[in-house]
Amino acid sequence: MRLASIFQSITGGSDVRFQAYDGSTAGPSAASVSIDIKTPEALSYLASAPGELGLARAYVTGHLEILGDVHAGLSRLSEFSLRELPWLQRVELLRFLGRIRLSHKVSPPPQETRLRGLRHSKARDSQAIAHHYDVSNQFYEWVLGPSMAYTCAVYPTLQSTLEEAQFAKHDLVARKLGLKSGMRLLDVGCGWGGMVMHAAREYGVRAIGVTLSRNQAEWAQKAIVEAGLSDLAEVRHLDYRDVRETGFDAVSSIGLTEHIGKAKLPAYFSSLHGKLKPGGRLLNHCITRPDNKQRALSGPFIDRYVFPDGELVGPGHLVSLMHDTGFEVRHEENIREHYALTLAAWSHNLDTHWEEAVDEVGEARARVWRLYLAASRLGFERNNIQLHQVLGVRLDGTTSHMPLRPDWLS
């Protein structure tokens, strides 16, 4: 059984080079991307968890290698499936994989997480956030760049740099919220404080940010002091549900909703509504599914390696919930192409600092990130996932205090 040819058949990669530990090869020799099945353990991972999880485990552990650009490699492969094989060959392969699984037993890599406790309880949410964000601030500086913004940027042009696009994103949020000097902003899930510092520095706003990541909060507070913004800006290591203050002029939620959980979304929007004064605005910026036909749960690779307990819903579901919890939605837009560009920039940063990143967090975790960034970029490009900004207002009686036409588009 020539493994390279079989892999070519079951992945659909006709313009990808395949090579395997049995010495077999398949595909064009001049292909820019090559898949190397380096060991029997790679097959054991695939046999024990068919589909994306098995492939991820084989790649993260280094038993399977993608030589060349990972995004290009993934974009040229179809879903791992045995359906394309003739029936007799399929049976033979399944028997072969069964023997491999018995003779080369494998365990999930330690980078794979399983959380404890009630789903989306405060304690479990804290575990989920710590798994992904409390890795290494230095690692995130290499991947995200100087802005330390770990959310979709907004590219004014295709030639814009990542830093220009992250500034444009924060400024778009500020203008949608109608920020002015002296106002009070609450930024929930604030990350490393990018929106908090932008609002304080560019608009003279008194801004409070909260995050469940201790590493993020400590980094952000240090950055605030170094920027001379301590009189206006503050980041707390705190669950958004534990913020005591109310009467904010604006609330920004940039990349938090994905972590909340579908069942908790009504309470989430109700809580943010209660933080606003009448006439105050909420800008909710988050990843969504294109529709509500699929389960909200993320795929096994993302759930176990990247964002544990992450759940995505369709934009219509979010808009309905915002209305049901007291908001009047005034504007909505999908900027999914911008996230593909953002992820491409982060991937480039990771590749540029690859050796340093491996030294900092270990090769397996760095490989998780390389795979995650490439796969997510492909998801946005293929419209499997989207990024929506939804602007809502807490009415002042029946008055919205909104402009007759959007004044943030110029």
Q: Any residues with CB less than 8 A from the CB of 267 and at least 6 apart, and which?
A: none
Answer whether residue 114 is part of any domain.
no
pLDDT score of 29 more than 60: yes
Asked whether residue 243 falls in the same domain as residue 369, the answer is: yes
Tokens representing residue 196 in the block: 């908090």
Q: Any residues with CB less than 8 A from the CB of 39 and at least 6 apart, and which?
A: 21, 63, 104
Asked whether residue 167 falls in the same domain as residue 295, the answer is: yes
Distance CA 284, CA 163 (A): 21
Tokens representing residue 272 in the block: 């943010």
Asked whether residue 226 falls in the same domain as residue 303, the answer is: yes
Radius of gyration (Cα) for the chain, nearest Å? 23
pLDDT digit string, tens, across residues 219-236: 999 999 999 999 999 999
Q: What is the pLDDT of residue 117?
A: 82
Largest CA distance in the chain: 74
Asked whether residue 182 falls in the same domain as residue 80, the answer is: no
Q: Other C-beta atoms within 10 Å of 255: how many? A: 19
pLDDT digit string, tens, across residues 305-354: 888 888 999 999 999 999 999 999 999 999 999 999 999 999 999 999 99
311: which DSSP letter? B
Asked whether residue 224 falls in the same domain as residue 83, the answer is: no
Average pLDDT value over all residues in the chain: 90
pLDDT digit string, tens, across residues 213-222: 999 999 999 9
Q: Other C-beta atoms within 10 Å of 64: how many? A: 24
Tokens representing residue 55 in the block: 């492939």
Asked whether residue 222 falls in the same domain as residue 264, the answer is: yes
pLDDT score of 78 more than 70: no
Q: What is the CATH number of the domain that holds 295?
A: 3.40.50.150
Answer whether residue 403 is part of any domain.
no
Supply the angle between the helices 336-352 and 162-176 in degrees, to the nearest 10: 140
pLDDT digit string, tens, across residues 97-138: 778 877 788 888 888 887 778 877 888 877 777 776 667 899
Helix (H, G, I), strand (E, B) or coil at 362: coil
Question: For the chain, what is the domain count?
Answer: 2
pLDDT score of 193 more than 80: yes
Q: Any residues with CB less than 8 A from the CB of 113 and at least 6 apart, and which?
A: 131, 304, 305, 308
Asked whether residue 91 falls in the same domain as residue 134, the answer is: no
Task: Print the domain residue range for 174.
Answer: 122-394
Distance CA 404, CA 8 (A): 57
The per-residue DSSP string of 250-268 comes to EEEEES-GGGT-GGGHHHH
